[in-house]
Amino acid sequence: MRYSALALLAEAFRGNAAREPVWREPEPKPAYDVVIVGGGGGGLATAYYLAKVHGLANVAVLEKGWLGSGNIGRNTTIIRSNYLLPGNIPFYEWSMKLWEGLEQDFNYNAMVSQRGVLNLYHSDAQRDAYARRGNAMRLHGVDAELLDRDGVRALAPFLDFENGRFPIRGGLLQRRGGTARHDAVAWGFARGADRRGVDLIQNCEVTGIRIEAGRVKGVETSRGFIGAGKVGLAVAGSTTKLADMAGLRLPIESHVLQAFVSEGLKPAIDCVVTFGSGHFYISQSDKGGLVFGGDLDGYNSYAQRGNLPTIEDVMECGMAIWPGLGRLRVLRHWGGVMDMTMDGSPIIDRTPVEGLYLNAGWCYGGFKATPASGWCFAHLIGRDEPHPAAAALRLDRFATGHVIDERGAGAQPNLQ
Ligand SMILES: Cc1cc2nc3c(=O)[nH]c(=O)nc-3n(C[C@H](O)[C@H](O)[C@H](O)COP(=O)(O)OP(=O)(O)OC[C@H]3O[C@@H](n4cnc5c(N)ncnc54)[C@H](O)[C@@H]3O)c2cc1C
């Protein structure tokens, strides 16, 4: 069924009689041309573009839980392409362009909202750094505006402009940035892939990777062996565990990141705002809750839950720019497991095992990358060559020294 306003109306009159599950629940076949491990944003988008762009439909996505149970359904929904370095800008801008046509492309309402992303600056040095970033963006054809204090006040009058410790001097604004409904993104890609013949297999955990003579042959799973010509890993926070099954040691650590949503409010903030003197980002969902987050918990973990000191730290950062937040109640909070690389940038590349491909290292920012992550990974798997937009996101950059250290923080995952 193709979704449209007319179809919705027709179904209302028919009592939703023609409604079907959005994807099938197939049994796994003995073998596929391509097996993607991980039914998160990256895995589902890859399967979708493999089928749509590369005509490969003998593809399975294997997910150990339910589709979208990982970080794709746990993030704070921010999308943007306000990057500085040449290795990152083309990739994230390609993602932004895909976001702009995504809902029409996969015929699903993902609530993509280009409401603007505003990064506050609080000192002269930070203003200069943002001016440099904005110029780099504009040189690559990405929109960027440097606002002074009055420009910020016009957009976000509720912020604390009298704060002596963290004075708001202005902000870098990307108007095309914004938010998207994260789980709907997973569902849209899943539905689109399923309609093109991809098997989406839930409750199927990969427990081993079979390799013979240096070539991948398939995967051992909780539902038996599944043969594969090619295997793509898109398992985010579980990347090091899966790589271990193939005998690979990666420059990645897993860390927990928490997120929060408040009770519902009337419209209060119509763009995404980030704090420049601490790690804090906030937006308002269409239901009215304020959605926000901050830093990693700071220790290695595979647990999807965090600790109280980080919660306190996030709340302090929020209160520093918006004291009124202190009067709100937090409705829910949760954690996700992040695959942090040593330079803060992702990896989309082949591995030393023939036929085994890696999509990982998404750090704080893999949600905004979802469409390009899938597009470029599908290109790599389908054509066996890197997509030009992701050509710098190589695994060997850590050995050759061509790191893409966006924050200039070095090999410290908590600072990326
Ligand atoms: C709290 C939080 C806030 C965030 N906020 C933002 C944000 O605002 N903007 C942004 O751009 N990014 C954000 N991110 C990062 C972003 O969500 C992730 O980088 C991105 O979702 C990771 O890619 P993914 O969607 O493919 O991962 P996931 O959704 O985690 O998918 C990986 C899947 O692999 C499955 N899997 C793991 N092991 C196996 C196995 N052995 N067999 C089968 N399946 C397996 C998992 O169950 C999971 O479903 C945030 C992350 C968190 C946790």
Paired tokens of 236: 């985010």
3-class DSSP state of 193: helix
Helix axes 370-383, 41-54, angle to 10 degrees: 50
CA distance 384 to 382: 6
Distance 65 CA to ligand 1 centre (A): 13
Distance of CA 346 to the CA centre of its chain: 11
Is any atom of ligand 1 closer than 6 Å to the C-beta of 62?
yes
Which residue has a Cα nearest atom 4 of ligand 1? 75
25's torsion region: left (phi>0), alpha (psi -120 to 50) or beta?
A: beta
Paired tokens of 333: 């909070």
H helices, E strands: number in the chain: 10, 18
Helix axes 182-195, 89-106, angle to 10 degrees: 70
Is any atom of ligand 1 closer than 6 Å to the C-beta of 11?
no
- Bridge-partner residues for 221, per DSSP? 206, 224
For residue 133, what is the enclosing H or E element? Answer: helix 124-139
CA distance 95 to 210: 33
Tens digit of pLDDT at every position of the chain (416 positions): 889 999 989 999 999 887 889 999 999 999 999 999 999 999 999 999 999 999 998 999 999 999 999 999 999 999 999 999 999 999 999 999 999 999 999 999 999 999 999 999 999 999 999 999 999 999 999 999 999 999 999 999 999 999 889 999 999 999 999 999 999 999 999 999 999 999 999 999 999 999 999 999 999 999 999 999 999 999 999 999 999 999 999 999 999 999 999 999 999 999 999 999 999 999 999 999 999 999 999 899 999 999 999 999 999 999 999 999 999 999 999 999 999 999 999 999 999 999 999 999 999 999 999 999 999 999 999 999 999 999 999 999 999 999 999 988 888 887 77
First to last CA, the chain: 43
Which domains can be identified in the chain, with CATH numbers?
25-81+83-108+182-250+343-415 (3.50.50.60), 117-178+254-341 (3.30.9.10)
